[in-house]
A and B are shown apart, each in its own frame.
Chain A
Amino acid sequence: MSAKIIAGEADIAAVPTNLAAILYNRGIPIQLAAITNWGVMYVIGRDSTITTWPELKGKEIGVTGKGSTPDLLFRYFLSANGLDPEIDLQIRYYPSPAELAQLVIAGKVSLATLPEPWVTEALARDPDLKVLLDYQTEWTRLEQRNESYPQSALVVKTQLAAENPALVRAFLNAAAESNRWVVSQPAAAGCLAEKYLFISAAAATEAIPRCNLRLVAAHQVQPEIEYFLEKLYSFQPQSIGRKIPDAGFYLPE
């Protein structure tokens, strides 16, 4: 995906917010148009005695995407709760959520961090599995904010926005509309998901609420985005491209 954006093949793209920042900071001519979801990460497992983050101490947990936003958030939550990620638990990295989900279902991994829709997939396959911890609620609790973190975004080619703002506006409106539709009609949306994505309808329907889907124009929630990016910067500057993006990053009205 990054390659396509860099090559200029994509006019509009859906990417993680931090990746949008990296690209912008590297001089790729894009702007942040909107946030599409507000966090899809959960910790799942079989041990229902784990209800708070400190209770992860001493456990072995599977994680995907080393260095990515979920990984950084996970480590942040651990330290904020008094745990040293290197010492107090055993973290094992896996290349992809699909693979990790498989292993959890198979029983080879008993505790894992996963994004939706794999969370629901796993829960559907094994009734003993439960959602134990929620990244989103932890974020709002720790940061004392009203919103969860803006995980995923839509970016637009700067040139396109400058030359054809009407088109961009229309697209964003349509996207917001479809976003709302999915949230309000999960069953119907589930059927579509089964058709176009590799997910069963039932799982998709159940996953939708947990996906925190809500499309908002970037300039309307700029403070939230800035706060999030600054937070990421404090964990690992390279995760947003080594500097905080300037105001030009955000697509204006």
Chain B
Amino acid sequence: MLGSTYRNKVIALGSLFTFLLGWHGAAVLVGKEIILPTPAVTFRCLFQLIISGGFWSHLAATLSRGLVGFALSYLVGLIVGLLSGLSRNFKAFFHLWLTLIRSTPTIALILLALIWFPSDYVTLFVTFLVVFPIITQNVTEGINQVDPDLKEMARLYQVPFQTVLHRMYLPAILPYLATGAAAGLGLTWKVMIAAEAIAYTRFGIGARMDTARTYLETPEVFAWTIVVIAISLFFDRILQRIIEKHLLFWE
């Protein structure tokens, strides 16, 4: 048992090492730092960023916006998803809006939002619109997947709706909530960074990335990218932990 976890870790490390090696090789081949900096240069740049002032403010800004945007999307997605799953009328009514939001390209949303809101709210607005349909869809599907036999049993035993919602629907959709959360959170970071870059928020990783791009400071762009990847992985891990602990207890 212990052996396999150890083995997995070794394989993961080996994979990472190979990746870094390949990166370094490619960078040396290309030869121009402005196109592909080596891992060494990138990490040195990252180190500089961290020790220079302002890194933590930018990180905090992006993190807080991301988490708030995600939480909002999740809450609204849950409610709308529940309503859609439980009421056919609601679902039919809402279908058009959801489709519209989902089909609009993210960049269009960002540019439109820029006209309507100040830049800090642009990021929240766009993140919300991109993420909450995903949650909604997951929740609706979760509700639809509830075994109709169970629904019939609850109806025949005249279990009041509140109890059905609380003890049957909500637990039944937990796996879907989990998948939705994982997908939604990952997407949140991507969209948030893009929105920050275009909206030029005063603090935020996206804006810093775009400034680095303007000055063709490619190592810095790479360095910030690593930061974002780290954020994404970190929260992904936390989510996994939560899921493992609370979700599969009845298996």
Contacts and interface: CB of A to CB of B under 8 A. Distances in A.
Interface of A: 2, 6, 19, 22-23, 26-28, 65-68, 92-95, 99, 103, 108, 238-239, 241
Given A93-B199, A95-B198, A103 B215 contact: no
Given A26-B32, A67-B211, 8 more contacts: A6-B32, A22-B215, A26-B216, A27-B33, A28-B32, A66-B207, A92-B118, A238-B215
Contacts of A2: 216
A108 B34 contact: no
A108 B198 contact: no
Contacts of B55: none
Interface string B90-116: 000000000000000000000100110
Contact of A103 (B35, B115, B207, B217): B115
Interface in B191-230: 198-200, 207, 210-211, 214-217
A65 B211 CA distance: 9
B42 interface: no
18 contacts: A2-B216, A6-B32, A6-B35, A22-B215, A23-B34, A26-B33, A26-B34, A27-B33, A28-B32, A28-B34, A66-B211, A66-B214, A67-B211, A92-B119, A93-B200, A95-B198, A99-B114, A241-B215
B30 to A, nearest CB: 11
Q: Identify whether the interface residues of A are mostly helix, strand, loop, or mixed.
A: mixed
A189 B210 CA distance: 36
B80 to A, nearest CB: 31
A26 B30 CA distance: 14
Contact of A239 (B32, B33, B215): B215
Contacts of B216: 2, 19, 22-23, 26, 241
A66 B200 contact: yes
A41 to B, nearest CB: 17
A191 to B, nearest CB: 32
Contacts of A94: 114
Contacts of A6: 32, 34-35
A226 to B, nearest CB: 19
A27 B216 CA distance: 12
Contacts of B33: 26-27
A60 B242 CA distance: 46
Given A6-B32, A93-B200, A67 B215 contact: yes
Contacts of B35: 6
Contacts of A239: 215
A210 to B, nearest CB: 25
A6 B32 CA distance: 9
B107 to A, nearest CB: 10
A95 B119 contact: no
B115 A67 contact: no
A66 B197 CA distance: 10
